[in-house]
Structure 1
């Protein structure tokens, strides 16, 4: 029987055994169910449950993917429990569970599991830690979960891998030229050029060149949302600010729906290391910080929908309504919190989009870092995110060329990052420089980059096929026009006393020009563009939401 690395090195945390006393504390949250030898308790990609505590017998847990590959992970014996992160959100499980001998288990629903985690902090900590370690093991071992099939280097493959990785979803990639199962799948479905990649969901469904919405449906990150339900809070955007609002609001008893376009954590999740966030003296990656906040939100019952871009905000009725992009679905909320951040800024290059995902990237995750091993790369940008990315990439690439239009980094980057860049031998800073041309082809991707030194006018060609753009972002507020939310001349949302005529109203500090609509984080005018500031605003807005809801109740 295979016991994976995390289970070998951290058995007590990943596979804890509960005492009889602890099981008695759990019993009031569940029901006892019996199964016969060989009976299936749950199926990968199909079944949902909260947690199962083994009382008698054994429960075999097996990895399973849509191609029929199965491998035993472990067997839970008396006192052990089954479950991982999927169970906190009510998403389908990614493993199979079978009875070994006569089996007796204490069964908890998703709602009962959350109630247990909140009611019993000590047990809750152990259970959540085990769930996290089990998901880490699923990701690291690349067995089970979603299967992607495509030729190596396909641009769409990179985009889907990026989405899956950013959302902490286990998956693996198969090459049809070298893998027998992948070859058989392509022979069966005969994909055309526009059909790549093929995606095999855990339940066996096969999709051709799926959108992230389709993957969200098959993996449970995009649940069915009921238009008739009225949420206390709809949060648009799951960056640090939005996640903070979700955690604090849900922990205080409010019903919370979070709509996120791409992945939880927003742009902050792409930071390789955040070293000035309070409480983390050695730093923490943006992905790790976002992952912890996501699990925390699930613990308190936040409904998270990814990918779920908001298309319109309608404010002429109450409750407020958010229309989903690409559909006529209207979601209702007593309050709406806008933490929709910004969209990546793109330089004015004619063929830019041709190379997106095929040599040109807007973040630097381990996925991208693995592509540029021992290569020279170019990184454009002079802010903190650019500095963190450059330092991170320097540990993988042969050389990192940083291009900035200014004559130094002093006005845009923290001093500790400037010092670190200067001390890193394989980072070269090019001041007053910019990219003026990209060369390559659809098949091979980016091949060459032309850079101009604006001081001398000299243009130089670099045989570089990886470019990282960190040139800032524009506020994501275009979709708010029909609601009348007032913005400044740059498109950032005005709140509190910054709203014209605010002195004559009782508007809260983070409330927009529309009652019940709040704005936090980077999208808010005059906000401090730092992760800690965004988290602070996300927490602070919850008390203002309570105040608004209390006034609304009195008026009714």
Structure 2
């Protein structure tokens, strides 16, 4: 496969753009064309010759009708490519007003001022972000941090790929008889016949029976790291709330340990693009946001233990602090933040549950979406995660259907995502609809699903190769002691939501405090939370002041 391409379409500013993009020519095939017809033909020729198109750069100095044709045409020809509109300074103010809606609706990924001279790093920083996201979600990795060797891409292999994508680790899958497969198998011949075999750049090579084993190998088990002192704060869960708490607590000098059962970032890490997070005008993927937060927390001294879930909390014998239990060891701490988030609710249809990992996925499963080119994909769910999953899937799939029980998406999804979905010709929303059945093809992969109208009961069977289930929040906090009070749905009660009879001297607990002294809760698992990344981050940051107050008692 040749180098990925950047196609620049400019009628009147070719010289300036050619000079600006010269710095990318070492690693990208930069093509300069003058009109919309040539741009589309160039993209088709590149793909026919084995190249991927990473980025279209479109100058606004075209006839307006032709410009809109060019924007729409690039998406139709290469839906996975990023699209950047550049405007000359003489018309930037007008173009900013004209194309604001196009950016908001996702028709283009960004509108930038054309470079004004050499080393316009503000411009190149934005270009780098677009290419970075393309490389993370579309491109075939040039360097594979992890190699998976298996005769077939089964459900476990897809789970491993999904996990590696969530933690931002480039990976590849290879057949045992391939050149890479033979090279890896030569390092661990004793494991031949037990699939998959996983090899990492860190030097580990062997059979990988599940995702947790992979996490342990990549990040180390808790019982391999000494935590023999009583720390100030243990954060259980490294989603947005847990990561924010880790950053702020450790930056203020609190000794902080963060336990994460699976992937850093939690459910937010599966979001292909979050466009409404403060400070990221062009959006950021959940994985990038989580990895940046992890790096920030590490810089301040947080210790992360990945791969073991917390299994309980108990008081120390002397009553002076808590013990957080895991299967890999215990951590003694003066305070705890419960930020484990939630799981997706199960659909409960036996025929579909049998196909999980073979066309049926709980969550966004970004890696699986790449395999569904030219297929029909069904997304079940009406929240922001479902909207982001549909937009990502539409870059690959021929057709995407969002099935939601409500009449439409307005009650549960952010407006910016609804606008983007309405504009995207590949996405259809079916309101008042649920999935009641599904079945496999002759190789035991999902082939069809049955829709049912929730009002009339009318049923329709449709072909579908992918079914992504994002069905809302299901809290899993059975590991917490009974002294931590939950609401009727299982979410943890905090602050003024705690029944008055549980208040001390008729004074309400602090906003994020639970009914167990020294135990706090934030993020999606907290009763009454907004179920948004930004609100979870805010709770994680704000709980640190409560921890300080508790430690000072």
Normalising to structure 1: TM-score of the pair? 0.70
Residue of structure 1 equivalent to 2:550: 548
Residue 270 of structure 1: aligned partner: 270
Retained in 1: the 8 A contact 2:230–2:331? yes
Greater CA drift, 424-433 or 449-458: 449-458
Correspondence for 1:323: 325
CA distance in 1, matches of 2:539, 2:266: 16
| Deviation sequence 1:368-424 (CA, Å, 0-9, x none) | 221111211101011122112212222221110111112222211222322222222
Partner of 2:503: 502
Q: Deviation of residue 213 (structure 1)? A: 3.3
Structure 1 CA distance for aligned equivalents of residues 296 and 415 of structure 2:
33
Q: Distance in 2 between matches of 1:166 and 1:374?
A: 24
Of the structure 1 ranges 392-401 and 165-174, higher mean CA displacement relative to structure 2 is found in 165-174
The DSSP-based 3-state class of the residue aligned with 1:296 is helix
Partners of 2:456 and 2:503 lie apart in 1 by 51
1:199·1:210 contact (CA, 8 Å) conserved in 2? no
**What residue in structure 2 maps to residue 336 of structure 1?**
336
CA distance in 2, matches of 1:184, 1:298: 32
Q: Does 1:217 align with 2:219?
A: no
- Kindly state the Cα deviation for residue 442 of structure 1 after the two structures are TM-superposed: 9.3
The answer as to whether partners of 1:148 and 1:174 remain within 8 angstroms in 2 is yes
Indicate if the aligned counterparts of 1:142 and 1:171 stay in contact, CA closer than 8 A: no
Once the two structures are superposed, residues 301-322 of structure 1 have per-residue CA deviations (whole angstroms, 9 ceiling, x without a partner) of: 2111112211112136432111
Q: Does 1:301 align with 2:301?
A: yes
Other-structure match for 2:485: 486
Q: SS where residue 390 of structure 1 aligns?
A: helix
Aligned partners of 1:232 and 1:255 also within 8 Å: yes
Equivalent residues of 2:237, 2:258 under 8 A apart: yes
TM-aligned CA deviation for residue 189 of structure 1 = 3.9
Whether contact under 8 Å (2:352, 2:439) holds in the other structure is no
Cα distance in 1 between the residues matched to 2:180 and 2:144: 17
Conserved in 2, the CA contact under 8 Å of 1:234 and 1:259? yes
Matched residue, 2:256: 256
For the 8 Å contact 2:270–2:366, the answer to whether it is kept is no
The 8 Å contact of residues 275 and 284 in structure 1, kept in 2 or not, is answered as: yes
Q: Mark the CA change 1:269 to 1:9 in structure 2 (over 3 Å): closer, same or farther.
A: farther
Quick one: distance in 2 between partners of 1:147 and 1:174?
7
Cα separation, 2, equivalents of 1:277 and 1:332:
34
- Partners of 1:144 and 1:171 within 8 A in 2: yes
Map Cα deviations across residues 263-310 of structure 1 (whole Å, 9 max, x no partner): 111111222222222222232222221121111111112111112211
CA RMSD in angstroms comes to 2.9
Q: Deviations over 1:529-555 (max 9, x none)?
A: 22111111111110111111111xxxx
Q: 1:107-146 maps to which residues of 2 (within 5 A)? A: 141-143=141-143, 145-146=145-146
Q: CA deviation at 1:227?
A: 5.4
Q: 1:420 to 1:228 in 2, by over 3 A?
A: same
Alignment of 1:527-538 (within 5 A): 527-538=529-540
Please give the alpha-carbon distance, in whole angstroms, between the structure 2 residues aligned to 1:190 and 1:227: 33
Q: TM-score, normalised by structure 2?
A: 0.70
Q: 1:227 to 1:249 in 2, by over 3 A?
A: closer
Per the TM alignment, residue 197 of structure 1 is displaced from its structure 2 partner at its CA by: 0.6
**What's the secondary structure of 2:552's corresponding residue?**
helix
Q: Residues of 2 paired with 1:479 and 1:448: CA distance? A: 38
Greater alpha carbon shift after TM alignment, 362-371 vs 468-477: 362-371
What secondary structure, in the 3-state scheme, does the structure 1 residue paired with 2:232 have?
Answer: strand
Structure 1 residue 349: deviation in Å? 0.6
Shift of the alpha carbon at 1:441? 6.5
- Residue aligning to 1:57: none
Distance 2:551 2:510 in 1: 12
Q: Which residue of 2 aligns with 1:165?
A: 165
Change (3 A) 1:508 1:393: same
Aligned to 1:207: 206
- Measured against aligned partners, the alpha-carbon deviations of 1:233-271 in whole angstroms (never above 9, x if no partner) come to 100011111000000001111111111111111111222
Q: Which residue of 1 aligns with 2:467?
A: 467
Distance 1:453 1:216 in 2: 41
Gaps of at least 5 residues in structure 2 are: 6-21, 26-127
| Deviation sequence 1:127-178 (CA, Å, 0-9, x none) | xx9xxx9xx99x9744353321012321111111111221123433211244
Unaligned runs of 5+ in 1: 12-128, 552-556
Task: Give 1:243's aligned residue.
Answer: 243
1:99-126 CA-to-partner distances (Å, cap 9, x unmatched) read xxxxxxxxxxxxxxxxxxxxxxxxxxxx
Q: CA separation of 1:448/1:523 partners in 2, compared to 1, >3 Å: closer, same or farther?
A: same
The separation in 1 between residues aligned to 2:211 and 2:381, in whole angstroms, is: 28
Q: Does 1:156 align with 2:152?
A: no
1:396 matched to 2:400: no
Question: Aligned pairs, how many?
Answer: 419
Partners of 1:248 and 1:345 in 2: how far apart? 31
Q: Aligned residue for 1:434?
A: 434
3-state secondary structure, aligned to 1:522:
coil
Q: Given that residues 323 and 333 in structure 2 are in contact (C-alpha distance below 8 angstroms), is that contact kept between their aligned partners in structure 1?
A: yes
Shift of 1:452: 1.8
1:22-61 equivalences in 2 (<5 Å): none
CA distance 1:297–1:425, change in 2 (3 Å): same
1:486/1:372 Cα in 2 relative to 1: closer, same or farther (>3 Å)?
same
Residues 315, 514 of structure 1: 8 Å contact kept:
no
